[in-house]
Structure 1
Amino acid sequence: MKNNKRIKQAGVICTFLFLAGCKAPSIVEKKENKTIPETYANVSQDTANTGKLKWRSYFIDEDLKSLIDIALQNNQELNITLQEIEIARSEVRAKKGEYLPFVGFNAGVGLDKSGRYTSTGSGEATTEIMPGRETPDPLPNYGFGLSSSWEIDIWNKLHNAKKAALNRYLGSVEGKNFVITNLIAEIANSYYELLALDNQLEIVKQNIDIQSNALKVVKIQKEAARVNELAVRRFEAQMLNTQSLQFGIQQEIYETENKINFLLGRFPQKIVRNDNTFNAMIPPSVHAGVPSQLLENRPDIKKAEMELIAAKLDVKSAKAKFYPSLGISAGIGYEAFNAKYLLTSPESLLYSLAGDLVAPLINRNAIKASYITANAKQIQAVYNYERTLVNAYIEVANQLSKIQNTTRSYDLKSKQVQALNESIQISNNLFSSARADYMEVLLTQKDALESKFELIETKKQQMNAFVNVYRALGGGWN
Structure 2
Amino acid sequence: MVVITAMVCYSCAPTKDVREANTTVPEAFKTQTTDTINTAQLQWKEFFSDPYLQTLIDSALVNNQELNIILQQVDMSQNEIKARKGEYLPFVSMYGGAEVEKVGEYTRNGAVEHNLDIKDGKEFPEPLPNFGVGLSATWELDIWKKLRNSKKAAVFEYLSSVEGKHFMVTHLVSEIADAYYELVALDNQMEIIDQNLDIQQQALKMVRLQKQAARVTELAVRRFEAEMLKNQSHKFEVQQQIVETENEINFLIGSKPKHIARDSEHFIEKEIDTIYTGIPSQLLQNRPDIRQAEYELAAAKLDVKVARANFYPSIGIHAGVGLEAFDLKYLFTTPESLLYGLVGDAIGPLINKNAIKAEYYNATDKQLQAVFEYEKTILSAYIEVANELSNIDNLKSSYNLKQDQVNKLTESIDISMRLFQSARAEYIEVLLTQREALDSRIELVETKKEQMLARINMYQALGGGWN
- TM-score exceeds 0.5: yes
1:61 has 2:50 as partner? yes
Residues 214-245 of structure 1: CA deviation (Å, up to 9, x unaligned) = 11111221222211121111111111110000
Match of 2:97 in 1: 108
Aligned residues: 466
Match of 1:5 in 2: none
Q: Would you say the 8 A contact 1:424–1:444 is kept in 2? A: yes
Q: Would you say the 8 A contact 1:22–1:323 is kept in 2? A: no
Residues 327-362 of structure 1: CA deviation (Å, up to 9, x unaligned) = 001000100001111111221100000101111011
Match of 2:29 in 1: 40
Residues 31-86 of structure 1: CA deviation (Å, up to 9, x unaligned) = 21111111101111111010001111111111111111111111111111111111
1:167 has 2:156 as partner? yes
1:193 has 2:151 as partner? no
> In the alignment, which of 175, 178, 184 is matched to residue 173 of structure 2?
184
Please give the residue correspondences for 1:6-405 in structure 2 after superposition, counting only pairs within 5 Å: 19-20=8-9, 23-130=12-119, 132-405=121-394
Structure 1 Cα separation of the partners of residues 144 and 5 of structure 2: 20
Q: Would you say the 8 A contact 1:22–1:359 is kept in 2? A: no
SS in 1 for 2:451: helix
Q: Would you say the 8 A contact 1:21–1:362 is kept in 2? A: no
SS in 2 for 1:226: coil
Counterpart of 1:367, as a letter, is I
Counterpart of 1:474, as a letter, is G
Q: Would you say the 8 A contact 1:105–1:145 is kept in 2? A: yes
1:471 has 2:441 as partner? no
Counterpart of 1:329, as a letter, is H
Structure 2 Cα separation of the partners of residues 23 and 218 of structure 1: 96
Counterpart of 1:38, as a letter, is E
Counterpart of 1:192, as a letter, is Y
Q: Would you say the 8 A contact 2:5–2:313 is kept in 1? A: no
SS in 2 for 1:331: strand
Q: Would you say the 8 A contact 1:22–1:324 is kept in 2? A: no
Counterpart of 2:385, as a letter, is V
Counterpart of 2:139, as a letter, is W
> In the alignment, which of 433, 440, 447 is matched to residue 444 of structure 1?
433
Q: Closer, same or farther in 2 for the Cα pair 1:176/1:15, shift >3 Å?
A: closer
- Please, which moves more after superposition, 193-202 or 79-88? 79-88
Match of 1:3 in 2: none
Post-superposition shift, 1:442? 1.2
Counterpart of 2:127, as a letter, is P
- Please, which moves more after superposition, 456-465 or 206-215? 206-215
SS in 2 for 1:143: strand
> In the alignment, which of 407, 413, 419 is matched to residue 408 of structure 2?
419
Post-superposition shift, 1:122? 4.0
So what's the TM-score if we normalise by structure 1? 0.94
Structure 2 Cα separation of the partners of residues 79 and 114 of structure 1: 62
Q: Would you say the 8 A contact 1:21–1:359 is kept in 2? A: no
Post-superposition shift, 1:21? 7.3
So what's the TM-score if we normalise by structure 2? 0.97
Q: Would you say the 8 A contact 1:332–1:350 is kept in 2? A: yes
Q: Would you say the 8 A contact 1:88–1:169 is kept in 2? A: yes
Post-superposition shift, 1:28? 4.3
Counterpart of 2:459, as a letter, is Y
Post-superposition shift, 1:16? 8.3
SS in 1 for 2:265: helix
Counterpart of 1:170, as a letter, is L
Counterpart of 2:62, as a letter, is Q
Structure 1 Cα separation of the partners of residues 261 and 116 of structure 2: 92
Counterpart of 1:69, as a letter, is D
Structure 1 Cα separation of the partners of residues 32 and 366 of structure 2: 37
Structure 2 Cα separation of the partners of residues 384 and 440 of structure 1: 58
Post-superposition shift, 1:118? 4.4
Q: Would you say the 8 A contact 2:6–2:312 is kept in 1? A: no
Structure 1 Cα separation of the partners of residues 115 and 124 of structure 2: 8
Structure 2 Cα separation of the partners of residues 331 and 337 of structure 1: 19
Post-superposition shift, 1:27? 2.4
- Please, which moves more after superposition, 245-254 or 26-35? 26-35
RMSD of aligned C-alpha atoms? 1.7
Give unmatched runs, 5+ long, in structure 1: 1-10
Q: Would you say the 8 A contact 1:323–1:359 is kept in 2? A: yes
Counterpart of 1:29, as a letter, is V
**Identity among equivalent pairs (%):** 57
Q: Closer, same or farther in 2 for the Cα pair 1:18/1:296, shift >3 Å?
A: closer
